Amino acid sequence: MTYEELKKVYDQVGQRSGWDFSKLKDEREPVPWNYLDVVKAYLQDTFSVLDVGTGGGEKFIKLSEFFTKGVGVDPDPDMIKTANVNKKKAQNSKVTFEQFGAENLEKLNQVFDLIINRHAPVVADQIVKVLRQGGYFITQQVTSKNMQNFRDIFNISQFVSKWHNNLDTMVPEFKKLKCRIVATGEYDVNYWVKDVKSLIFWLKAIDMPKGFNMENHWQQINEIVEKFTTPQGIVSNEHRQLLITQKL
């Protein structure tokens, strides 16, 4: 496709709202767990729940029917604004949203029965400080091998986070803090976006590479489409890790 054609698609897809990816047409191979189902298995209707890195609160609001009250935190003020809009639309009185980073959870001055975290920073000592005795922490993380073929095209080195969100670092950290490792999991499966519009929306939404735009990256988009288009769509990989731990 020409630059002009790709730029037209780029302008048409617009911006995502919060972490709403409903515009994305995609498919993946079967996976061994579903994040929401895992969390539901640990919820009780009497629980207070903290969602660290809640984004626009989309998933937290869906989960709220299974607990008494919850707090969703995110360091991005725009995400918190979106979460409050979503809360109002859902007429939900169980959850509140506050602007906090993962490194400042103790400033909430609350203790929670369950803490959840999806694709967001984990600071183990902060999690433990606001988790009640016997409470559980559940996190699903995106790994450095996620979307590896796209990363290669964009010449992006392995993702490195200052929070070290992977099992190799999180498991020792939580063990050191006297927590029991209940379960870990990992999967790496094929993932397809169905068309160029979905591909551009996806990359624009997650800002990959940093500062993604058509002026600088239209040739790489064409290379991705040329190399990785299959009968099921444009293929990459989805790599996730899961950790469930309990405060003793």
- pLDDT tens for each residue of 77-112: 999 999 999 999 999 999 999 999 999 999 999 999
- Beta-bridged to residue 51, according to DSSP, are 72, 116
pLDDT for the residue numbered 195: 95
pLDDT at 141 exceeding the cut of 80: yes
* Least confident stretch, 123-132, 182-191, 205-214: 205-214
pLDDT at 200 exceeding the cut of 50: yes
Residue 19: pLDDT band with limits 50, 70, 90: confident
Closest CA to 129 of 148, 144, 146, 108: 108
pLDDT at 163 exceeding the cut of 60: no
Query: β-strands 69-74, 48-52: how paired?
Result: parallel
pLDDT for the residue numbered 82: 95
Mean pLDDT of the chain: 93
Task: Please state, in angstroms and rounded to a whole number, the distance separating the CA atoms of residues 198 and 245.
Answer: 35
* Least confident stretch, 36-45, 130-139, 163-172: 163-172
Task: Please state, in angstroms and rounded to a whole number, the distance separating the CA atoms of residues 32 and 9.
Answer: 34
- Beta-bridged to residue 179, according to DSSP, are 247
Task: Quote the Cα angle for 61-242-34, to 5°.
Answer: 50
- pTM, two decimals, is 0.93
Helix or strand holding residue 232 (H, E): none
Q: Which residue is it, tokens 């725009």?
A: 78
Q: What is the pLDDT of residues 182-192, one digit of tens each?
A: 999 999 999 99
pLDDT at 22 exceeding the cut of 90: no
pLDDT for the residue numbered 156: 82
> Cβ distance 58 to 118 under 8 Å?
no
Structural domains of the chain ordered from first start: 3-247 (3.40.50.150)
